[in-house]
A and B are shown apart, each in its own frame.
Chain A
Amino acid sequence: MDSFLQQLEGWIPNLRRYARALQRDAERADDLVQDCLERAISRRHLWRADGNTRAWLFTIMHNIHANEARRTATRPLHAPLEDHENRLASPPAQGGQLLGRELAQALDQLPPEQREVILLVALEGMTYGEVAETLGIAIGTVMSRLSRGRERLRRLMEEGGPALRIVR
């Protein structure tokens, strides 16, 4: 069994989850994952068996996504929210949780570089060091993006009125 392909396969659920958070549309998200896997496989000579495969794969996906976002800067990045609402992974608005739709809306308003850091930490549980490695930035930059992004998210949720507050 090819241990490289095996490792790749193991990270696919993570890649799909992060891609969905970035792209929202399921098809486009899986396109992103497929592009990422193709690039990884065609560059397997750069893979280190003893290295951080997750960071390597997420770096590849980040680069593809960033390039794509640059190319399509004039087009809307995400699918309409109505579309997204139907794709909620689990029912939101349970005790102490944020309303999913409003959170998604608020995330969309963040600068992409802040959104990325927040998602990698929240979804992947990456350490700040891993996020820095993945995005190719300094750990201090990770912290400042995380701080500004979360604060902005918090304010957006508060400004959104009662419907956007934490449901208690």
Chain B
Amino acid sequence: MNGKPHEIHDHELHAYVDGQLPEERRAEIEAALAGESELAAKLQAYAAQNRGIAALFGGVAAEPVPARLNPRRIAARLSRRRWLVALAASVAWLGIGLAGGWLAHERLRAPAGVDVTGLVARQAVSAYRVYTVEVLHPVEVFAEQEQHLVKWLSKRLGYRIRTPDLAPVGFVLVGGRLLPASDGSPAAQFMYEDAAGRRLTLYVAPNDSGEETAFRFEELDGVSAFIWLEQGMGFAMTGELPREQLLEISKLVYATFEPKI
């Protein structure tokens, strides 16, 4: 090779063949190649390779494109597949939900022959324990909004509920709240209080066992409850009162809900 300016680097030879060399350098290389027969042969061989490859496969680009390579079709198929996967997933979830619902039903809803009043008693006493100790938030809706409270809970329970007047026995309404019943359906709790701060609750939950019962007394860990089933509902009057006193109050409550003929 003849000195620096004309020295041809290997990568320049390729860039020349591939048309990726600046025009100025291109001219220099052409001039230099005149005296370099071996380099010129290489260059010709490389260029021939490019042409040969283009001749071998270039025509493929002009062939009609098969339908299976249509991007819109592929996109539609993929989104269909995604949709099916999502559907399969939701069907699986539905299955899990149904199975879970069935199991929950088995577990929570009292089948025939099961102690429905006992179930209502346990729910009523649990709710009593949880909420009567509350100082700030014993109820969701206070007695000031009694009309709203009654309307709201009646709607949620699907049963025309009333708030018994317990003033004759020294108790006034504090308010009420919505609760989940044992089978997950809505239940209601009303809270009453006397001048000494003692509290009572009336628990009302749907009862679709078809059973109707008279008063039944339950005592769970010092909490007393009178339970009765009527009109497709379960009622529980709960408090830490002597049995006789609670019975008197329960009779008042019962009278409030007794169907008026």
Contacts and interface: CB of A to CB of B under 8 A. Distances in A.
A89 B58 contact: yes
A96 interface: yes
Contact of B53 (A13, A29, A99, A118): A118
Nearest to A5: B71
Contacts, number: 124
In this complex, which of B15, B57, B68, B72 has the most chain A Cβ atoms within 10 angstroms of its Cβ? B57
B73 to A, nearest CB: 10
A30 B60 CA distance: 11
B10 A98 contact: no
A154 B44 CA distance: 10
Interface in B38-93: 42, 44-46, 48-63, 65-66, 68-72, 74-75, 78
B14 interface: yes
B75 A147 contact: no
B223 to A, nearest CB: 59
Nearest to A139: B11
A56 interface: no
Contacts of B52: 92, 97-100, 103
Interface string A87-105: 0111010001111100110
A89 B11 CA distance: 30
Say whether chain A's binding surface is mostly helix, strand, loop, or mixed: helix
A157 interface: yes
A8 to B, nearest CB: 4
B18 interface: yes
Given A92-B55, A98-B48, 17 more contacts: A12-B65, A12-B69, A13-B61, A17-B57, A17-B58, A96-B48, A96-B51, A97-B48, A97-B55, A100-B52, A107-B53, A118-B53, A119-B53, A121-B18, A147-B10, A150-B14, A154-B45
Give the 10 A-B CB pairs with smallest separation, nearest first. Answer: A89-B59, A98-B52, A13-B61, A122-B53, A17-B60, A5-B71, A103-B52, A122-B50, A8-B71, A21-B57
23 contacts: A5-B71, A5-B75, A9-B71, A17-B58, A34-B69, A34-B74, A90-B58, A96-B48, A97-B51, A98-B49, A98-B51, A107-B53, A118-B49, A119-B53, A119-B57, A122-B49, A123-B53, A123-B57, A123-B58, A128-B20, A146-B14, A147-B14, A151-B42
Interface of A: 2, 5, 8-9, 12-14, 16-18, 20-21, 29-30, 33-34, 37-38, 41-42, 88-90, 92, 96-100, 103-104, 107, 118-119, 121-123, 125, 127-128, 143, 146-147, 150-151, 153-154, 157, 166
